[in-house]
Amino acid sequence: MQITLMKGKNHRASLPEADLHHEGSIAIDRKLLDEGGFVVYERVEIFNVETGARFGTYVIDAPEGSGTVGLNGATARLAIPGDKLIVVAYATFNEAEARIFRPRIVRVDGENRILPG
């Protein structure tokens, strides 16, 4: 049996930018990607805390330390700058792996800087 679990999450990131005319994706600060265990081009689910919208896209990296969390292409229509987003990646595990696995959860402040703890 295979079980799908949340492997990583960026919790309540602020959306500073959305670019309808950029190739579709979500650009995320490299530091946030690394801390959350995300891989460039990985499929992610995005939850807009403000509207309840849920949608998927893939990840591209933004410069480390930039604080960038930017929606691109069609996804830019699903949130506006200032919205809070939760970005989640999933992985599939066998039952034994699932019982011991712990996801990487990254909480950020209003400027998308990683909070301690």
CB 85 within 8 A of CB 48: yes
Instruction: Examine the residue annotation and report whether 66 is marked as an active-site residue of this protein.
Output: no
The catalytic position among 14, 25, 41, 66 is: 25
CB 87 within 8 A of CB 46: yes
Cα 50 from Cα 93, distance rounded (Å): 32
Distances (CA, A) of 36 to 8, 9, 46, 73: 5, 6, 14, 23
The catalytic position among 41, 58, 66, 90 is: 58
Strand partners, 70: 17, 27
Instruction: Examine the residue annotation and report whether 14 is marked as an active-site residue of this protein.
Output: no
In the chain, what is the straight-line distance between the N-terminal and C-terminal CA atoms, in Å?
Answer: 33
Residues with a catalytic annotation lie at 25, 58
